[in-house]
Structure 1
Amino acid sequence: MKLLKSFVFVIVAVLLLSKSALANEDKIIELVVQDKIGFEEVPVVQVEVQVSKTRELHVAVVNLNGWKTVKKTQKRIKQSGKFHFEVPIDNLEPGKYRVDTYLAPRRKGWADRITEPTRRNLVVMNQATTPKKSVFSKEDKVRKVTFPKTVVGNESIALKVKYDITEPRDLHIKLLDSGNWKEFGALKFPVNKTGEVNVPLSNMTDDFPASKYAWVVYLSTKENSVPLSKKQGKHFELIVKESP
């Protein structure tokens, strides 16, 4: 029995020591750099580290054409966490590069490193800056209208509209009776980029009688409300919830 207790004690001690060792391990958890930049832009390093005490984070940018280090910098890291910083380089030339990072004790460098390098590739393009992704599309279009087929009582629901635009537009949403096309309400949203509008709704039976309805959605210019493209509709039925 004493032998069994001693064995259990040793196992528990080993587990606790292993857990403590893992908690005190210094490592680079994640390194993120841009895939591509222009030669007038600045590389940005985003890094997540785990450290047991104050460490030096070393960063080097290496030109793969000749394997020349074009920039070295270091940051003192006092605690675990996520950090990001710029690495400006004078006269950055187009080509393929690599960003190397490693951790070392305070005031120490490569010879005393406590982690092996974490590396990411970077391409510097033969243009001053990277083209910015347009917030607009090639056509004006209501792509999709999402809404339940049946709304019972005062339940909370949402009307979702996805759309494409070529420049700032107005998005029109109308609620019509699908039997006689009487208009019960209208909304207009200024939209400045391709995307989605989400309209939360509740207590519809407090505002509208039970009936069959249709949402009618379209885009227009800022100057007038004439539809620019095909209208999109979504039919649904509003039902009053019966008391038990």
Structure 2
Amino acid sequence: MMKKIYIKLITIFTVLISTSGLAIAKDAINRFALPEQAHALQTITIAVNVDVSKQRELFVTLQDTTNWKTLKTLKKRIKQSGDYQFAYQVPELAEGRYRWNAYLAPRGKKWADRVSEFEPQYLMITDKAALAKVAPVKATSTSKVNLGEKIDLVTQVNWPKTIADDATHTLKVHYKVHQPRTLHIRLTNSENWQELGELSVPVTKPGAFEMPFEALQSNFGQGKYAWIIDIQDSAKKNSVLSKKFGKHFVIDNLSMEK
């Protein structure tokens, strides 16, 4: 039977934060922006803001969502943190929704060796006449983002996709903040979105928070779950400042059945 476990262990969190030193996440994509709509042969601007610790390859790829075929790969060699842009002329593609991906990889490496990625962005390709009916602000606002703006966000979450034992697994959350904030972490059952536990961690600077969990298979049982993580204003309850970051995973009972 699934146990409903609440994980507000403030004392433990304080110890973990003080001993971990909140190591700075050195390689991260902080922002990935492009227009929501475009038409064939239109040139769009893709804007990316990154932090890197050494030379990295920045990849931006275009995928067809009907078959997940990669239609275009754009690449830049990044030597320092900052803002980068790609100018891309949309080819004559069928109308529909297309996915853009962005990730960082070591020099000379690709997707399999990525060190950071950003959540996919979507571009709706429509005919030129239909696009003209859309207010200009809506068509261009997402491409005119002030990349120098200070933002608070969760940049990456490390957690296994499948858990099939009662071993200890460590949740690692990389984040970026520019003043004292609260890192809010919830565990949910992704089949019915029932909340199973939550924790709030005070943070003061960019870094990474780690929390070990054990006996998850015994405590929660087989099923589909998700971590939902965001950054909140420390002075205001339930005031979400960042886009929520979801990390889905499965607990399997295979090892218990042997």
Q: TM-score range, shorter-chain basis?
A: 0.3 to 0.5
Q: Which has the higher contact order (CA 8 A, sep 6+)?
A: 2
Question: What TM-score, normalized to structure 2?
Answer: 0.42
Question: What TM-score, normalized to structure 1?
Answer: 0.44
- Bigger-Rg structure (1/2): 1
